[in-house]
Amino acid sequence: MFEEIMENYRMNGLIPRVHGNAGKTPSHALTYHDILRVVAFIRNYAEVHGISLPRRTPGMKSYENKKFLPCNTSKRQVYLEYAESCEGLNVKACAETCCGDATCLVLKK
């Protein structure tokens, strides 16, 4: 490793090294349409199953737009329903970690 760094320094001078994977898209990357499909599913799920707060809660700025999952529903259950709906549509489902992050973002809006 040190020899490679020294060789790069001798040939190119003091510039940052660029690794061989630069500019390539990972095979597990989501397309824009995949992301839109996840967001649409979560918004629809929140419309049907989400619980809105009936009044203002201290510490929350815009309580009207927030929806919460019922206590008996976990993010994992939401993901499993999403994966099942993707299977029914014959499309690629994103990873569970992606859906978990999106669930938090969409339900907070």
The pTM score is 0.61
CA distance 53 to 96: 27
pLDDT at 60: 66
CA distance 9 to 88: 54
Q: What is the pLDDT of residues 69-101, one digit of tens each?
A: 888 888 888 888 988 988 888 887 777 766 555
Neighbouring residues of 48: CB distance < 8 A, sequence distance ≥ 6:
none
E-state strands within 1-109: 51-52, 67-68
The CB-side HSE value for 61 (13 A sphere, CA atoms) comes to: 2
